[in-house]
Amino acid sequence: MTDRILIVEDEREIAEILTLYVENAGFAVARATSYQEAVRQHAQFAPDLVLLDIGLPGGDGLDVLSSVRRRVDTPVIMVTAVDDEVTKLSSLRIGADDYVVKPFNPSEVVERIRAVLRRTRGGRLRRLFAAGPVEIDLDARTASCGPAENRQRLPLTPSEFGILAHLAAHPRRAFSRAELLEAISPDSDAYDRVVDSHVSNLRQKLMMAGCPDIIEPVRGIGYRLWAER
């Protein structure tokens, strides 16, 4: 399984050099150049690690770090232009896993990425879990359902997968549309009704795979995954 690295850096040259080294080291890379893009890419690309520049347009790297930490514990390496103790301490306090000062040697950054991934592997998120007849693999971003001997892979869009994974992580808990929307696309301006259309398609796909009524509407609230088995 190829590890996915999100590089958040607004200086194009630095981003390109980092991408080159990180890709050559065998990782898959996505890039973001602003606060908004970083938060969106973090939700959509679901990286295994984020390389995060502190000076960004639209809100700084520490804001991105806080936003990521509110939801999951993806490892984060902060990158900064100034070797300043205050910034370093606040990054570590908010939950950064390591800290690199510019100008850096890109090979060393790759080594740090490897070291942080080794260190954080395992004890973090539960990457593969089942809720009733539904099985979620967060690494492969796939979901399947049905009895063990005839489990079917569900052909889901990234948003549908995000909603299903979020519901399945807390079976029987009712989530509001706003919570589900936040889970699949934080800081989005989309209407809550967008969630209804994703859920409707999701339920259709679950039904086709032989798992009807797994997701049920909760009147006045939103949805829950009903996994009583």
Q: Which of 7, 10, 42, 46 binds Ca ion (CB under 5 A)?
A: 10
CB atoms within 10 A of CB 4: 18
Least separation in angstroms between residue 106's CB and Ca ion is 16
Least separation in angstroms between residue 11's CB and Ca ion is 5
Backbone angles phi, psi at 134, to 5 degrees: -100, 135
Which is nearer to Ca ion, 53 or 135 (by Cβ)? 53
Alpha-carbon span 123 to 145, nearest angstrom: 26
Contact 204, 160 (CB under 8 A): no
Sole window of 6-14, 21-29, 115-123, 202-210 interacting with Ca ion (rule: CB under 5 A) = 6-14
Sole window of 9-17, 27-35, 69-77, 144-152 interacting with Ca ion (rule: CB under 5 A) = 9-17
DSSP secondary-structure letter at 209? T
* 107 HSE (CA, 13 A, CB side): 0
Which is nearer to Ca ion, 37 or 53 (by Cβ)? 53
Alpha-carbon span 11 to 13, nearest angstrom: 6
Least separation in angstroms between residue 31's CB and Ca ion is 13
Which is nearer to Ca ion, 38 or 211 (by Cβ)? 38
Which is nearer to Ca ion, 11 or 196 (by Cβ)? 11
Alpha-carbon span 195 to 154, nearest angstrom: 18
Torsion of CA 65, 69, 58, 54, to 10 degrees: 0
Which is nearer to Ca ion, 59 or 132 (by Cβ)? 59
Closest CA to 204 of 217, 192, 213: 213
Contact 23, 29 (CB under 8 A): yes
Binding mask 41-80 for Ca ion (x = CB under 5 A): ------------x-x-------------------------
Q: Name the maximum alpha-carbon separation found in the chain.
A: 57
Sole window of 7-15, 31-39, 43-51, 208-216 interacting with Ca ion (rule: CB under 5 A) = 7-15
* Paired tokens of 219: 């009147």
Least separation in angstroms between residue 55's CB and Ca ion is 4
Which is nearer to Ca ion, 106 or 132 (by Cβ)? 106
Least separation in angstroms between residue 5's CB and Ca ion is 17
Least separation in angstroms between residue 72's CB and Ca ion is 24
Query: Closest residue to Ca ion, Cβ-based?
Result: 55
Binding interface with Ca ion (CB under 5 A): 10, 53, 55
